[in-house]
Amino acid sequence: MLDDPNPTEAQDAEEGPAFGIIRVEPGDQLWSPKTQQQCTSPVGRWCPPQRGYAVLGALGLLAGVGVGSWLLVLYLWPASQLASETLQGQEMAWNCSEVSNEDVLLPSPRKTVSFRINTEDFLLEVQVRAQPDWLLVCHEGWSLALGRQVCRHLGHLRLTHHKAVILSDVKLNGSQGFAQVSPRRGGLLEEAWQPRDNCTSGQIVSLKCSDCGARPLASRIVGGQAVAPGRWPWQASVALGSRHTCGGSVLAPHWVVTAAHCIHSFRLSRLSSWRVHAGLVSHSAIRPHQGAVVERIIPHPLYSAQNHDYDVALLRLRTPLNFSDTVGAVCLPAQEQHFPRGSHCWVSGWGHTDPSHSHSSDTLQDTVVPLLSTHFCNSSCVYGGALTPRMLCAGYLDGRADACQGDSGGPLVCPDGDTWRLVGVVSWGRGCAEPNHPGVYAKVATFLDWIHDIARVSLEKETLMEEILG
């Protein structure tokens, strides 16, 4: 990843000085008083009377207390001062902890309407006002535009098919409810849907969106090790000439998303020099002139090279990728979808496996990283306010795993049941796997409107051609 965009604001958390603690095990003694002896004078030495014993004893006790106090001040005061400093360091660590009282999770907003598509017969169902029942959608009032909105709402890039299904051809339970689109709907709000006991037309909506988020050949591999083919079918390698430059994520056969800083660094290069490789695990398997040629490069218009805000770019490919068990698309986040702090997500790429090395890995690597809250990552002991609302961070405070140079632009994906969603794009960080400096990612959920707006026109043309060609 890139270095910290604002190193003056990213402050290291101070570490308390190490110190040793004197440990007294059972049976040990820090000092051993001598055994009391009786006053005897075998050679005729004088022994003081009983009162003298008391006076001498008192004087000795006072002297012992004074000497002991002086010794305690001399030898134990530095240790007590050190212990106090260490306790302050521990308190600082607690205040900066991910579970500190300052970091309060806000409740997720309640969805007014939810959708799902039955995977067996692709029947569209809607849930309104958080009611427990899922309602089949009547075909009355249905339109192509509404179907596109639903697919977009579910995190798909496009609508691929929709039709009316006769109710008598579907097996329904007796309590099945229905919903009809209001003629005066203003969008996908709850007011747009009216519950019905039946559909007047006797037809319901069947809807199919673009395939995404599935891993046909997935296998479990410990994070940080080499990846098997098909584990991350949306992983792409963005190359300038024959050299891997950044990672990317396949959104559709013609579309790949990457980081804007990857393109910005080489913005003077010829467009025809850019290629995208998908479905590969090892770069050594690439042959000259392989890969899909990039037709258009569209960085976000608000991208800032100073702090890497809005760090996303879309690549339009001249020829579509051939989807297979090893090449596929990742889903975008659904509308209003929230992945909470602590969610285990995966980052993958061909970047450096050791920050001290100057070469990228030939084999695709992956590792699991937990999501961290932006509030915490903006604290003084992490990135000191450098994260914007278009960023999120994920990783470990002890630096055990992280993305690195060469991974930029690649995917941070989180599971949503059996579906994988692109939550982040590898963007920047201070060093690689440094303690208290987790990876920072472009937050995909904040770019959904931009991604859909850019891709909509060409996707509509592709859909029309597919319909014409059958």
Judge contact between 125 and 135, C-beta under 8 A: yes
Cβ neighbours for 220, distance < 8 A, ≥ 6 positions apart: none
* DSSP letter assigned to residue 14: P
Amino acid at site 86: T
**Known catalytic residue: 311?**
yes
Residue tagged 């014409």 (tokens): 468
The catalytic residue among 139, 156, 162, 261 is 261
* DSSP letter assigned to residue 284: G
Cβ neighbours for 456, distance < 8 A, ≥ 6 positions apart: none
3-class secondary-structure state, position 192 = helix
The catalytic residue among 4, 309, 311, 407 is 311
Going from the C-alpha of 292 to that of each of 236, 269, 288, 312, 383, the distances in angstroms are 11, 17, 12, 20, 38
Q: What is the Cα–Cα distance from 416 to 140, expressed in whole angstroms?
A: 31
Amino acid at site 163: K
CA dihedral (208, 210, 212, 216) positive or negative: positive
147, 150, 156, 161 alpha-carbon torsion, rounded to 10°:
-20
Segments of 85-145 assigned E as strands? 113-117, 124-128, 135-137
Phi, psi of 79 (to 5 degrees): -65, -40
Segments of 72-228 assigned E as strands? 113-117, 124-128, 135-137, 159-166, 178-181, 193-196, 203-209
**Known catalytic residue: 361?**
no
Tell which residue, 360, 358, 365, 389, has the closest CA to residue 375. Answer: 389
3-class secondary-structure state, position 463 = helix
Which residue intervals of 265-392 are DSSP H helices?
374-377
**Known catalytic residue: 325?**
no
Q: Which residues are catalytic?
A: 261, 311, 408
